[in-house]
Amino acid sequence: DYVATIRESGDALLTIINDILDFSKIEAGRMDIEAQPFDLRECVESALDLVTSRAVEKHLDTAYVFEGDVPAAIVGDVTRLRQIMLNLLSNAVKFTDAGEVVLTVISKPLAAGRAELTFSVRDTGIGVSGEVMSRLFQSFSQADSSTTRKYGGTGLGLAISKRLSELMGGRLWAESEGAGRGATFFFSIQAPTAELPPARQRDFVGVQPELQAKRVLVVDDNATNRRVLALQTAKWGMQSSATESPLEALRWLDQGEKFDVAILDMHMPEMDGSELARQIRQRNGGMPLVLFSSLGRREVVGDGKLFNAYLGKPIHQSHLYDTLVGLFAREGTLKAAKPEAGKPQLDPDMAVRHPLRILLAEDNVVNQKLALRLLQQMGYRADLASNGIEAVESVRRQTYDVVLMDVQMPDMDGLEASRKINAHWQPQDRPRIIAMTANAMQGDRDMCLAAGMDDYLTKPIRVERLVEALNQVPARADR
Q: What's the half-sphere exposure (Cβ side, CA atoms, 13 Å) at 115?
A: 19
Count of beta carbons in the 10 Å neighbourhood of residue 24? 11
Residue 301 has phi, psi (to 5 degrees) of -115, 155
State whether the Cα torsion 223-224-225-227 is positive or negative.
positive
Count of beta carbons in the 10 Å neighbourhood of residue 357? 16
Burial class (CB in 10 A: 0-12, 13-18, 19+), 236: buried
328 CA to centre of own chain: 20
Q: Could you give the residue ranges of the DSSP H alpha helices within 190-294? A: 223-235, 246-254, 273-283
3-state secondary structure at position 460: coil
Count of beta carbons in the 10 Å neighbourhood of residue 281? 13
Count of beta carbons in the 10 Å neighbourhood of residue 331? 13
Tens digit of pLDDT at every position of the chain (479 positions): 566 667 656 655 666 676 676 667 777 677 778 888 989 998 999 889 888 888 988 989 999 999 988 998 999 998 889 989 999 999 999 999 999 999 999 999 999 899 999 999 999 998 887 776 777 766 545 544 444 444 445 567 788 889 899 999 999 999 988 888 899 999 999 999 998 765 555 556 678 888 889 999 999 999 999 999 999 999 899 999 999 999 999 999 999 999 999 999 988 988 989 999 999 999 888 899 999 987 655 555 555 678 888 888 888 888 898 889 888 875 544 344 333 434 445 678 888 888 999 999 998 887 888 888 889 989 999 999 999 999 999 999 999 999 999 988 888 989 999 999 999 998 888 999 999 887 655 567 778 888 999 988 887 777 888 888 898 898 764 44
Q: Report d(CA 126, CA 147) in Å as an integer.
A: 10
Q: Report d(CA 374, CA 343) in Å as an integer.
A: 15
Count of beta carbons in the 10 Å neighbourhood of residue 174? 17
Nearest to 240 by CA among 217, 220, 256: 217
What's this model's pTM, rounded to 2 decimal places? 0.63
Q: Report d(CA 110, CA 234) in Å as an integer.
A: 27
Nearest to 120 by CA among 201, 174, 74, 192: 174
Peptide bond into 314 cis (omega under 30): yes
157, amino acid identity: G
